[in-house]
Structure 1
């Protein structure tokens, strides 16, 4: 699959997630097999570009190409300026956020709230595409609510404006993340446009990935929440789609190496105090849904320094290797 001049191989993309897809996590997921990793959404408000949070979100030094940066806002001119600014600071693909369902985003008429106003959608995508010389992609939901699934109309607007690829989450804004994703609208969008269409929503296993591709005819997949604590899902899905075979779950020693590398990257990127704090949620995700790893949550809660966080992690995984220990 190609986005502009960029070959996205495999066509498996880490979905943008606020507070999650920072540079350390993007780099990790790319090493684990993601063909592309999209940044956390960055604001289009220039007054906030020099805040600590924004500077971290716009840091792409040493990040493997192609670098995709998501921008969010509601004003076409501001979004166009934000696109230019991010390209000047390393972005090679600009992604427009019209998919976030969070109240604090929708309340300022950004994210998926924009799907209510098709003329505004057209003005935004047209302005951003004209503003930069790099490919522009768009992330949407199937509509504002179930009575207003206008994803096909939005997709045609996007294609006509020059959007290079379209990612569609199989829920409306009103659905938030509740219930099951529906893929019929994504399939209809794929039939309606010629640009690459990426399916998103509830893709949490290699088998589900293949099923979603079958149901939608999509050119690729976005994986979001399922990658939290399980960044190797990308290589698992890629291997299954290519061979039909399931890769073995990473053994505890490999999980330990992956996690320690992630911790080191977080501590280096954010500094010790903030890095330790941010790492806690990732440690929790690594332990989620595994009853035998309940003890690992003590690492999340006890560590107050980078050295202690790393030591407790090493000790925990070493205990799993001990005779009679439960496998992770």
Structure 2
């Protein structure tokens, strides 16, 4: 699968998630086989107004995998200006492609007309894709992440996808739910399949991928070129290697041992502290650490303990308690 000058290997990309796909998470997932990674959402408007926090969201790259900066906004001229600004920053904050968010369902994003709200106005969505494509250098691919529609009565994902492809988008990532459905119930792979069949550019299917088996099933149901994994990768970076093996018809690696799980967890949070400082990192680490406890004996208790972490040493205490709880099953 081609993305600009990059040939992406078979496997899964790391889907962007606000508050989750920071520098540390991107590096970790790339190291475990993510074929590309994308930053947290960056506000085009904030960026053009000189906001100091926005550039931090795209700093640090994406490890060894191609890395994209995701922009959100509702005005073509502002999105274009933001694209020019971040392209001017490439020397200091390297990235490989620009991703446009047309799928975020959060009220604070969709309310002002950005994210998934663009599905209600396909011409505007296409104009934004065209504006960003025209503003970016030719060697910077532009991709789009979208949903299949706004609601059951506004299934505009197909039209938006066509308009974005016509505007020069190099790749689409399609989440198989409407905005109204948020993250429940299950996705609609048949709607993703319609979009894949309608465009001549690569399409990644997104939604409900939690293991190699579900990734293969989604590919079979949609005919897409690959999958993008979001929540399924939380606390489970090994998923990328498992999906790559399945897509290449190799033996799928087994789940990590408990020792490996805790080793990676500790390294993950340590690197967050190095990247952001302990005070900020440990607030954000609570969510990440809680995901690593999924499926363990006493997981609910351990997640509550994760929510109370203030210092890195608190993580070691949680891990020690987790070991004790698992020993009780032997």
TM interval, short-chain normalised: over 0.9
When residues 82 and 294 of structure 1 are mapped into structure 2, their CA distance, relative to the original with a 3 A threshold, is same
Task: Return the offset for 1:247.
Answer: 2.3
Query: Equivalent residue of 2:204, what SS?
Result: strand
Seen in structure 2, the aligned counterparts of structure 1 residues 5 and 62 have a Cα distance that, compared at 3 Å, is closer
SS of the residue aligned with 1:263? helix
Change in CA separation of 1:318 and 1:277 when aligned onto 2, cut-off 3 Å: same
Distance in 2 separating the partners of 1:198 and 1:61 = 21
Q: How does 1:53-132 map to 2 (within 5 A)?
A: 54-60=54-60, 63-89=63-89, 90-132=94-136
Is the Cα contact below 8 Å between 1:44 and 1:82 reproduced in 2? yes
SS at match of 1:124: helix
For residues 249 and 41 of structure 1, what CA distance do their matches in structure 2 show?
30
In the other structure, the counterpart of 2:235 is 229
State whether residues 30 and 62 of structure 2, in contact with CA within 8 Å, keep that contact through their aligned partners in structure 1.
Answer: no
Per-residue CA deviation, residues 193-245 of structure 1 (Å, 9 max, x unaligned), is: 11001101111111111011001000010111111111111111112222364
Gaps of 5+ in 1: none
TM-score w.r.t. length of structure 2: 0.92
1:305 to 311, 314, 317: 311
**How many Å apart are 1:296 and its aligned residue?**
2.7
8 Å contact from structure 1 (residues 95, 137) kept in 2: yes
Q: Which of 320, 324, 330 pairs up with 1:315?
A: 320
Residues 87-96 or 161-170, more deviating: 87-96
Which residue, 162, 166, 172 being the options, matches 1:166? 172
Partner of 1:185: 191
Indicate the larger mover: 173-182 or 2-11.
Answer: 2-11
Size of the aligned set, in residue pairs, is: 323
Counterparts of 1:62 and 1:194, CA distance in 2: 27
CA distance in 2, matches of 1:106, 1:294: 33
**Conserved 8 A contact 2:238-2:255:** no
Structure 2 CA distance for aligned equivalents of residues 243 and 32 of structure 1: 18
| Deviation of the 1:186 alpha carbon | 1.1
Between the aligned partners of 2:202 and 2:145, the Cα distance in structure 1 is: 12
Cα pair distance change 1:317/1:217, threshold 3 Å: same
Structure 1 residues 175 and 263: alpha-carbon distance in aligned structure 2, compared to 1, 3 A threshold: same
Q: Secondary structure at the match of 1:114?
A: helix
The list of structure 1 runs, each at least 4 consecutive aligned residues, that deviate by more than 6 angstroms after superposition, is none
- Cα RMSD over matched residues? 1.9
Q: Distance in 2 between matches of 1:123 and 1:62?
A: 28
Q: In the aligned structure 2, how far is the partner of 1:201 from the partner of 1:65?
A: 21
Match of 2:52 in 1: 51
Q: Which runs of 5+ in 2 are unaligned?
A: none
- Helix, strand or coil at the partner of 1:16: coil
Structure-2 separation of matches of 1:280 and 1:49: 30
Q: Is the alpha carbon distance of 1:203 and 1:298 closer, same or farther for their aligned partners in structure 2, counting shifts above 3 Å?
A: closer
Decide whether the 8 Å contact of 1:74 with 1:110 is kept in 2.
yes
SS across alignment from 1:179: coil
